[in-house]
Structure 1
């Protein structure tokens, strides 16, 4: 007979301030093309089987079995299956928490292949089972399973959990996003947004970046560039007129920004799309 005794040690790890909002298991057997969308909460996307693509506005990740993607609030994203290969995945929404890398970087994190995929997959499966059956104590079990999952992710990927006040931040960040989407033609500075939200300038900028993955000014420029692409494709307006109508301070700055983001000048973009449509 062998006997080993282990005592529970005290820990100074703070309790995670998070809440499970939803969980889904999705299986796509077709060539799926969803649309870009955002959420006001953090999402965890875990591939059970198959492979596909996970897309953000300016980058694409190839995903396969065992991959996990963390999507911060208000970051536009979508997923695509690969032709002939089904993609099965869990996606859960969690509130009141976001993540930082140990180097302080925010934004998306795409993680590949946990060493023990079965244990991670089992946690998702148990959570889905409890949510579906809604038996006595299901919410508490799901909450505890969520905390186990997050601790495994933090330990594996060396992340720092950040508590966020979703209700307050959602309202203010959504207000900024709506303002930028609507008033992109105007001259907008951080001071403009500060007066709009009555927040400290630097706190406001940091908070928006945490949710959108971009600073307010970066988001504004991306918005302007998207509109400019539509005008370049669908109208014969001059580059100078398009620069002015989309809120850029000058044609040269517009061209510089366009080339930096798309890898070509506005005229080259217009010519390329004109040739494609012929």
Structure 2
């Protein structure tokens, strides 16, 4: 008989203070719109299968199975599948923490790949299972699994966890921004946004403008125009249908706003940006 005893060494590691907000599993088969959006929290975006692109405001990155993208709060982003390689991915939202490289204090988006991805994938699977089934102590188990996942990411990618201090007013403005990102095609007024935060209408509009540089309605129109541009490039839908899908009240109003922002009509834009590769 052989026997060997192993002792555990203490690690000088501060408490992570990361809180699990949400988890989802998605399969993008190009059957929904992909629009730049933000969150007030950090996101962990993990690709299980497929290939695609991950987009920021000024950057585009190729992504594939085993890739993990860490998106800090308030960074605009979205994802796109490549035809024939449908993306399957998990997204975890965590509050209270973000990350930066060991030699850089700037908390920017991080891309990494796990060649041995079974263990990482299993952690996402277990967290989703616990959230969906809601059995005894599921919340505690999810929190512990999240901490294990974070520690493995930190150890593998040589990252440093950084606490983030969330300001209530910033959260409220970010909540409005996220609502506009996700619901831009609906009929939205200042009263709609006021009801989300229970703030005074004019104070809400002023705070949002201070945070984003645009009024809520200006920001809404910008999001609608971005969605319309994608549809103009990637589909053969009629201008009327695109105007309606993007949330504009009429084709004439859509054309007016489009020309004001881009200096050309939607038809001319489609002719100049026709995308035959998507």
Aligned to 2:72: 72
| 2:57 and 2:76 in contact (8 A); partners too | yes
Aligned CA distance change for structure 1 residues 154 and 274 (closer, same or farther; 3 Å): closer
Aligned to 1:133: 133
Aligned to 1:150: 150
User: C-alpha displacement at 1:27, in angstroms?
Assistant: 1.4
Whole-angstrom distance in 2 between the partners of 1:34 and 1:94: 22
- What is the CA deviation profile of residues 180-215 of structure 1, one whole-angstrom value per residue up to 9, with x for unaligned ones? 1239xxxxxxxxxxxxxxxxxxxxxxxxxxxxxxxx
Aligned CA distance change for structure 1 residues 144 and 273 (closer, same or farther; 3 Å): same
| 2:51 and 2:87 in contact (8 A); partners too | yes
| 2:258 and 2:264 in contact (8 A); partners too | no
Q: Report the TM-score, using the length of structure 2 for normalisation.
A: 0.64
Whole-angstrom distance in 2 between the partners of 1:144 and 1:108: 24
Q: Report the TM-score, using the length of structure 1 for normalisation.
A: 0.64
User: C-alpha displacement at 1:157, in angstroms?
Assistant: 1.3
- What is the CA deviation profile of residues 125-169 of structure 1, one whole-angstrom value per residue up to 9, with x for unaligned ones? 000010011110111111001001111111111111111122447
- What is the CA deviation profile of residues 85-116 of structure 1, one whole-angstrom value per residue up to 9, with x for unaligned ones? 2210000100000111122232211112x132
Where in structure 1 are there 5+ consecutive unaligned residues?
Answer: 184-226, 236-271
Aligned CA distance change for structure 1 residues 156 and 89 (closer, same or farther; 3 Å): same
Alignment equivalent of 2:261, drawn from 231, 236, 261? 231
Aligned to 2:199: none
Alignment equivalent of 2:214, drawn from 181, 185, 210? 181
1:222-261 equivalence runs, <5 A = 231-234=261-264
Aligned to 2:110: 109
- Between stretches 64-73 and 22-31, larger displacement belongs to 22-31
Where in structure 2 are there 5+ consecutive unaligned residues?
Answer: 175-205, 217-256
Whole-angstrom distance in 2 between the partners of 1:35 and 1:273: 18
The question of 1:170 aligning with 2:170 is answered yes
The question of 1:276 aligning with 2:272 is answered yes
Whole-angstrom distance in 2 between the partners of 1:6 and 1:36: 49
- What is the CA deviation profile of residues 258-278 of structure 1, one whole-angstrom value per residue up to 9, with x for unaligned ones? xxxxxxxxxxxxxx9597289
| 1:31 and 1:80 in contact (8 A); partners too | no
Secondary structure class of the residue paired with 1:181 = coil
User: C-alpha displacement at 1:177, in angstroms?
Assistant: 5.7
Aligned CA distance change for structure 1 residues 55 and 277 (closer, same or farther; 3 Å): closer
Whole-angstrom distance in 2 between the partners of 1:83 and 1:164: 37
Q: How many residues align?
A: 199
| 1:31 and 1:83 in contact (8 A); partners too | no
| 2:28 and 2:80 in contact (8 A); partners too | no
Q: CA RMSD in A?
A: 2.9
